[in-house]
Homo-oligomer: A and B are copies of this chain.
């Protein structure tokens, strides 16, 4: 593994860690800034992804759509306050494409209910393409592949 790879690893690992903290700290308004203006954000299931379906539970192809999503979430979420905790594995560097650096990063997300109950809310992996040309890496494309196909509650927060 070359020093360049190590530098990329650090840059991506730090960006992923910041991304997770942004959501877990409930600073959702800052979340779209992790993405390029023109971007792709999809949440799908492992089964759909494996079968090559393009259907997504959540789909956005611009930073503006992500901002709108957060606004809607803030308006809707006037009932119960839940908390989330992301834990991410090490990013795997999968190679350079013309769009940017492709990586895969596994995750587990715990959900903490108002009454303190904690459960494993979602597991899966981020399939990402990163633009590394700016100061901090920006997400060009993030496909969130959830291991489970049960998505009823998955519509709530960004993953």
Residues of A in contact with B (beta carbons under 8 Å apart):
1, 5-7, 9-11, 13-14, 16-18, 20-21, 24, 46, 83, 85-90, 92, 104, 106-108, 110, 112, 115-125, 147-150
Contact = CB atoms under 8 A, between A and B. Distances in A.
Contact of A108 (B83, B90, B108): B108
Q: Is the interface of A mostly helix, strand, loop or mixed?
A: mixed
B106 A87 contact: yes
Contacts of A106: 20-21, 24, 85-87
Nearest to A26: B50
Q: How many copies does the complex hold?
A: 3
Given A17-B90, A46-B83, A108-B87, A150 B115 contact: yes
Nearest to A146: B112
Q: Which of A88, A116, A121 has the most CB of B within 10 A?
A: A116
Nearest to A150: B116
Contact of A14 (B18, B86, B87, B92): B92
A5 to B, nearest CB: 8
Contacts of A14: 1, 90, 92
A30 to B, nearest CB: 14
Nearest to A45: B116
Nearest to A83: B147
A94 B2 CA distance: 23
